[in-house]
């Protein structure tokens, strides 16, 4: 009985340490490095990933660390922390920094039905535009400047696609599906 309890304690301690390391690694660049050169984290869709709206991608796998000379099958170390192959991944939701897009569920207070339907239609178009951008790049992209968002479990970060690291925010703004937004109180957008 004692040996079994000790193994469980060691396993739990190891898992907690890995979780704390993963949480810290994704925000490491923001805290300790030169602000002019940003680390880019590779991201890929998992089988559970989806684009919620034009500025939110749910359940993506962010590669936090690649190990030399280490290979393993998929092993879930902690909810949202996965060791796969030679890399450590964190599953998270991403809010694209620097933009705001129409809401899939717009606020109804003081708005006409036509206004709500117009925003919902614009939200569907913005989501499709983001999906098209990601599909064009095989659903792989990079993140930079990650910050912990105001909603639990969500990371706010700059999202880039392709070898030239094109800004997804800028692409969506150019396409007319997003407005520049740096947080705080949102203006009354006219979508």
Q: Which residues does residue 154 pair with via DSSP β-bridges, in sequence order?
A: 93
pLDDT tens digits along 70-91: 777 778 888 889 888 889 999 9
Instruction: Judge whether residue 176 has pLDDT over 70.
Output: yes
Mean per-residue pLDDT of the chain: 83
Sole residue written with tokens 């979780």: 19
Identify whether the C-beta of residue 20 lies closer than 8 Å to the C-beta of residue 78: no
Query: Encoding tokens for residue 137?
Result: 């790049």
CATH architecture, domain 2-180: Beta Barrel (2.40)
Query: Encoding tokens for residue 160?
Result: 């880039």
pLDDT of residue 23: 52
pLDDT of residue 32: 38
pTM: 0.77
Identify whether the C-beta of residue 13 lies closer than 8 Å to the C-beta of residue 20: no
Q: Is 117 strand, coil or helix?
A: helix
pLDDT of residue 30: 38
Q: Is 62 strand, coil or helix?
A: strand
pLDDT of residue 31: 39
């Amino acid at each position: 009985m004692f040996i079994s309890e000790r193994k469980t304690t060691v396993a739990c301690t190891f898992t907690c340490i890995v979780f704390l390391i993963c949480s810290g690694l994704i925000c490491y660049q923001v805290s300790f490095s030169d602000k002019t050169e940003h680390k880019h984290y590779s991201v890929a869709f998992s089988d559970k990933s989806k684009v919620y709206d034009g500025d939110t991608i749910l359940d993506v796998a962010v590669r936090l660390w690649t190990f030399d000379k280490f290979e393993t099958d998929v092993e879930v170390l902690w909810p949202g922390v996965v060791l796969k192959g030679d890399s450590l991944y964190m599953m998270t939701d991403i809010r694209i920094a620097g933009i705001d897009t129409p809401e899939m569920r717009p606020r109804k207070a003081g708005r006409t039905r036509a206004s709500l339907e117009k925003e919902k239609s614009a939200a569907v178009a913005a989501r499709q535009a983001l999906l098209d951008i990601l599909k064009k790049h095989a659903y792989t992209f990079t993140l930079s400047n990650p910050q912990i968002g105001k909603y639990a479990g969500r990371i706010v970060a700059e999202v880039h696609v392709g070898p030239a690291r094109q800004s997804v925010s800028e692409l969506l703004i150019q396409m007319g599906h997003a407005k520049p937004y740096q947080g705080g109180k949102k203006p009354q957008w006219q979508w």
